Each structure stands twice: as structure tokens, then as C-alpha cells.
Amino acid sequence: MQSSHRIDGFDRLRKAALSDAPVKNTTPSLERDMNKMLVPILFAVGTAIFWGCYGPTIGNAQAPRVDGVPLWSPFKPYVFIGIAYLVIAIIGGLVMMGVKGDSFSFTGQYFPTMKWGFLAGALGAFGALCLTTAMMTSRGNALLVMPIVFGGAVSISAIVSVIRLHAGTTVSPLLWVGMALTVVGVIIVAMNTPHGHAPKKPAAESAKSDSAEAELLAAETKTPDATTT
């Protein structure tokens, strides 16, 4: 009797193994959570790359100076920053809304998308204006401006989060330690980033300096002859 029960048990196990029953997903929850975080992390890295290149790029629009006066103000390249937003954000946004099947209505229950989107865009536009002005007035010195921008942005974001969530959470002292380290990091990066060579003097100025040096050298060589006579 015992042997027959064992044979029946083996048969049931064999049939279960050969059946087409779906296999349950055994992926750990931690791995699934990491997969969900991969997309925002990649886009955050993309943001850092694009914004990191933004400062040096706008520095190329630095105005040359004539008699110490710049030929244009920071608002001139700022206009085309807005045009780039217009082309990429508005046209691209409308196209992707159609791809995703979004409604083109911004009233009623969709009003928060317009309100907060416009506010965020206004903050971004003012930030772009401040960054453009900083780059223009610093003669395109991205080594000074960009570490302050990114280090300060992290700290401001943390402060805003503390203000919004102060009633429901406690702030760790390590947050303030991190902000202090951010300031120190900004200073270290700005002081140790490789700097380029000084710009070459214009041809006219270099010719004048060369002629002045030649006249001075000629005067020095004539002085001993005058004393001997």
C-alpha cells in the first residue's frame, strides 16, 4: 500500500511538471523597483548632460567689445533661447500629446497642467535669463558660473522640499551637512577646473607694443654713445 501511494505521488508530480500551467513571476520586488527607477535616472542624467553643455554653449554668444562696450546685450541670444523652447517644447509637446492620446483641453480637470506647467516654464525662463546674463557679464566664464548654478540648484530644491513637507516630516541634520559640502564642492570645482590660455591680443595692439619695445631698445643703445662723446 505504501509503495502504491508513493507511485501515485510521483505521477502527480510528473503530470504537474509536464502541464502547461503558467509559471508565476518570481522576480524579487527589489529588482522590479530598480527597473522602474532606471527610466527616471536615465532622464535625470540626460538633463545633467544637456544643462551642463548649456552654459559653455551660450558662452560662445559672448559679445565682442569695441572701445570697451559690448556690441549686444544678453537679451539678443536670449531671444533665440525662447525660439528653441518654442520649437522643441510646444511643437514637440503637441506631437507627443497626440502620440500618447492626450486630450488637447487645458480647462476643467486639466487646468493644473496649464497652471503649474506655465509656472515651471516661467521659472525656467527666468533661470535661463539669469544664466545667460551671468555668462555674458563673466566673459563666457562657464568655469565660474556653472558650478554655482548646479550646486545652488540642489540646495534650493532641498530647501523648497523642506518648506513644503515641514509639517509631516523631520529634517535630518545631515541635510545641512550635505548643503555645506555642496558649497565646498562648488568652490573646489571652480578653483581646479582647467582654464584656457588668455586671449591673444589684436594684431594692431601687438604691433604697437612691438614698435614701442623697439623704440625703447634703440633709446637704451644710444644712451652710452651720448655719454662717451
The model's pLDDT over 107-159, given as tens digits with 9 standing for 90+, comes to 889 899 999 999 998 998 898 888 888 888 877 677 778 888 888 888 888 88
Domain boundary among 137, 152, 173: 137
Give the per-residue pLDDT at 148.
83
pLDDT-derived band at 227 (thresholds 50, 70, 90) equals very low
**Is the domain of 95 the same as that of 132?**
yes
Pick the closest to residue 93 from 106, 81, 80, 76 (CA basis). 106
DSSP state of 70: E
| 106 located within any domain | yes
Give the least confident one: 36-45, 85-94, 209-218: 209-218
| 13 located within any domain | no
| 181 located within any domain | yes
pLDDT-derived band at 229 (thresholds 50, 70, 90) equals very low
Give the per-residue pLDDT at 191.
77
How many domains would you assign to the chain? 2
pTM over 0.85: no
Give the least confident one: 79-88, 117-126, 206-215: 206-215
| 2 located within any domain | no
Q: Specify burial of residue 145 (Cβ count, 10 A radius: 0-12, 13-18, 19+).
A: buried
Give the least confident one: 144-148, 171-175, 215-219: 215-219
CA gap 160, 144 in Å, rounded? 25
**Is the domain of 77 the same as that of 132?**
yes
Asked if residue 50 has pLDDT above 60, the reply is yes
| 146 located within any domain | yes
Instruction: Quote the mean pLDDT of the chain.
Output: 76
| 119 located within any domain | yes
Domain boundary among 115, 137, 159: 137
3-state DSSP call for residue 15? helix
**Is the domain of 87 the same as that of 109?**
yes
Full residue range of the structural domain in which residue 96 is found: 71-137
- Calculate mean pLDDT across residues 165-181: 80
pLDDT-derived band at 213 (thresholds 50, 70, 90) equals low
| 54 located within any domain | no
pLDDT-derived band at 211 (thresholds 50, 70, 90) equals low
Alpha helices, DSSP H only, in the chain?
2-18, 29-59, 75-85, 92-100, 111-137, 142-164, 173-192, 203-228
| 129 located within any domain | yes
**Is the domain of 89 the same as that of 127?**
yes
**Is the domain of 123 the same as that of 79?**
yes
- Calculate mean pLDDT across residues 173-201: 74
Give the per-residue pLDDT at 136.
80
Give the per-residue pLDDT at 154.
82
CB 132 within 8 A of CB 74: yes
